[in-house]
Amino acid sequence: MSTHELYTIPAELSTWDVGMAGSSRFTWEYDEGRDRMLALYQKGKDKQWDSVKRIDWGLEVDPYDVLGIPDQSIAIYDTPLWHKMDDKARKEVRRHGASWQFSQFLHGEQGAMICSARIVESVPDLDSKFYAATQTMDEARHAETYARFLQEKVGIAYPINKYLKSLLDDTLSDSRWDMPYLGMQVLIEGLALAAFGVMRDITTKPLPRQILSYVMQDEARHVAFGRMALRDYYKQLSESELREREDFVIEGCYLMRDRLRGIEQWENMGLTPDEVKQAMKAVDESEYLKLFRSLLFSRIVPCVKDIGLWSERLQKAYADMGVLEMAGQSLDKLMKQDEDIAEKLDAERFAAEHTERAEEIAQTIGLGTGDAADAEAGDAEARNAGVRAS
């Protein structure tokens, strides 16, 4: 089935052409490069995985309860609009909410794949090119995974959100080689990583938990890559050059905040214009979603501070968004946690499979031993019968 048949609203053109500026940079310096970057590159190679094999696609998913979380997490829960709905309408609210979220993850991953390929092309250092090449493969795998999840398990999809599209456009059309890092590795990936983490930690369903955990294991490396490259580079920039990057970050963070409102899903639910307004008012006032939005900046704010973009006006913008306190988060601790959770999930899953397999083999051996004993007993009985007959 074509993905266009799954979209709840028209996806405009089948392709989106973004005009890119800047240079493709070759380097003839094939020295060993930076130890930290090469270590990250080695890790990127070691941690490649196949979504067809690592994820258990046989697990069932209820498209009307994708994450298995309480209805209290829905913005319109316990509002007059919610009480007007019957069970069927509420099921559609759950389905469309999950579809919208995972659709934006999918489109963001394709954007990340293109941005990382752009980094390979434009970054001047060979060690960065090496790592970005592994990231391009990671992002292809993530897009493949989310596309399959939407197609096979949810059954509907949403086009790219206009705010995400705008940030991708700004990121890819800028001629400066560091902007794909800043737009994708810090802003888009940072927000996505936090969103994946919140959903990974609250879902009670095994398949989405697997997908989110394994994708996050990769994304932790990607954000580390962006931090490492930009921290080194931004130390060399002038005050005016740093201010230009801060302007980009401030605008991008406001775009990311507005992206989270998800008006498209409410407009597509068959609600009246007045009911859509009620839904969006509930979205803006929901205490759960306020906390969710705040947590989504837990990776971006400390990363922006770490790479050296931390002027008073940038801090003021974060205070206005209500996320300034996230600057105290430890990125290293969060990234380590992301990797550990994925490794633990693998250990639990495959240990269980090995135990089941061992039991199956033991049972088979037991059956075989029993069959052989029965056969030997039968042969003895036949021989005895033959003796008696003679």
Counting residues of the chain whose pLDDT is more than 70, the rounded percentage is 83
Q: Any idea how long the chain is?
A: 390
Rounded mean pLDDT, 288-297: 82
Counting residues of the chain whose pLDDT is more than 90, the rounded percentage is 49
| CB-CB contact of 360 with 231 (8 Å) | no
pLDDT at 15 > cutoff 60: yes
Predicted local distance difference test score (pLDDT) of residue 379:
53
- Structure-token pair, residue 312: 């008073």
- Structure confidence by residue, pLDDT tens digits, 258-286: 777 888 899 888 899 999 999 999 998 88
Which amino acid, 7? Y
Mean pLDDT for all residues in the chain: 85
- Structure-token pair, residue 193: 């990583």
pLDDT bracket for residue 242 (50, 70, 90): very high
| CB-CB contact of 29 with 288 (8 Å) | no
- Structure confidence by residue, pLDDT tens digits, 79-129: 999 999 999 999 999 999 999 999 999 999 999 999 999 989 988 888 889
d(CA 325, CA 83): 36
Predicted local distance difference test score (pLDDT) of residue 163:
87
Nearest to 167 by CA among 193, 201, 191, 140: 191
Predicted local distance difference test score (pLDDT) of residue 361:
55
pLDDT at 200 > cutoff 90: yes
Predicted local distance difference test score (pLDDT) of residue 189:
86
| CB-CB contact of 349 with 209 (8 Å) | no
Predicted local distance difference test score (pLDDT) of residue 390:
42
DSSP 146-188: HHHHIIIII--B-PPPHHHHHHHHHHHH--STTHHIIIIIIII
Q: Helices 331-389 and 189-202 sit at what angle, rounded to 10 degrees?
A: 50
| CB-CB contact of 186 with 224 (8 Å) | no
Helix (H, G, I), strand (E, B) or coil at 208: helix
pLDDT bracket for residue 216 (50, 70, 90): very high
Q: Is the dihedral of CA 236, 242, 248, 253 positive or negative?
A: positive
Predicted local distance difference test score (pLDDT) of residue 80:
95
Question: E strands of 22-87, at which residues?
Answer: none
More confident residue, 18 or 55: 55
Highest mean pLDDT among 48-52, 170-174, 260-264: 48-52
- Structure confidence by residue, pLDDT tens digits, 299-329: 899 999 999 999 999 999 999 988 999 999 8
Predicted local distance difference test score (pLDDT) of residue 37:
82
Q: In degrees, to the nearest 5, what angle opens at C-alpha 188 toward C-alphas 7 and 213?
A: 80
Which residues, in sequence order, are CB contacts of 242 under 8 Å at separation 6+? 234, 308, 309, 311
Nearest to 146 by CA among 117, 104, 114, 116: 104
| DSSP conformational letter for 7 | B
